[in-house]
Structure 1
Amino acid sequence: MKVKRIVANINTKDISAAKCFYQDVLGLNLIMDHGWIRTYGLNEEMSIQISIASQGGSETNTPDLSIEVDDVDAALEGMKRAEFSIEYGPVDEPWGVRRFYVRDPFGKLISILAHEH
């Protein structure tokens, strides 16, 4: 047996609120819509990971989701333009990532990050 996919599920009564954050700003595609559930993603192979943490690093709160992007500063500007609340950063962390924390429309703390090269 092997794990093929891990899907994060966020409970809400207003699933349409996800579009601006996850599709418009982060560029994910709507890949499934059954009315009661919408799934955003990309048709690319990605790493399967689940992290268990006592804090978020640098003494921050543990984020609900971590989303790796290719350009943190572009993601930050998109979040600011869409008026999402930036709660931490942007910062270059000592373990080699540049990141910021933002609240999604459902109040989830999201770490947006890129590995430094």
Structure 2
Amino acid sequence: MRVADAYPLITTSALAATRDFHVRHLGATVVFEASWFVMLQLPAEDGGRPFTVAYMTPEHPSTPPGPEAFDGKGMILTLQVASADKAHTALKAGGAPIVYGPADEPWGQRRFMTRDPAGVLIDVVEQTQPQAGFWERYGVKAD
């Protein structure tokens, strides 16, 4: 199978608020929007490929019927950035809820988390050096 694109499609009753959150806090661009659906694209860093995410309402007219509204459990959307601290400062200043961190994790990330109005936990990470020996205990060989 050759795939042109792949993106999560999350069902929410808070469509407009979720769109506004992604545009305001994450710099997303609205690619397509209808009364029951919005497709957003997050900008890429340093020539990378942009990330697409879409949301729809539970009352959408597509066939077959889709899932019920997302309940905020079982999904983390991870966004890797060059500077977690810079992203944290910008999101906090813009009023985004910070639900975790920022923290330096032993596996080699500096990260924090926010949650969008649809309930999606957004994990903003910067890759760092892991603590010495951290990955070896999980069967990963050191470089």
TM score, norm. by length of structure 1? 0.71
CA shift for structure 1 position 2? 3.3
Per-residue CA distance 1:20-51 (angstroms, 9 max, x = gap): 3211111111111123111111475258xxxx
Q: Over the residues paired in the alignment, what is the CA RMSD in angstroms?
A: 2.6
Percent identity (aligned) = 31
Number of residue pairs the alignment of both structures matches: 104
Q: Aligned equivalents of 2:21 and 2:38: distance in 1?
A: 13
Q: Aligned equivalents of 2:30 and 2:112: distance in 1?
A: 24
One-letter amino acid of the counterpart of residue 99, structure 2: E
User: Quick check: 72-81 or 96-105, which moved more?
Assistant: 72-81
CA shift for structure 1 position 4? 3.7
Structure-1 residue corresponding to 2:49: 45
Structure-1 residue corresponding to 2:133: none
Structure-1 residue corresponding to 2:84: 72
Q: Aligned equivalents of 1:96 and 1:82: distance in 2?
A: 27
Q: Aligned equivalents of 2:106 and 2:3: distance in 1?
A: 31
Point out where structure 2 has 5 or more consecutive residues left out of the alignment.
52-72, 130-143
Per-residue CA distance 1:3-26 (angstroms, 9 max, x = gap): 443211221123111233211111
Q: Aligned equivalents of 1:18 and 1:9: distance in 2?
A: 13
TM score, norm. by length of structure 2? 0.60
Moved over 4 A (4+): none
Matches within 5 A, 1:66-105: 66-105=78-117
Point out where structure 1 has 5 or more consecutive residues left out of the alignment.
48-60
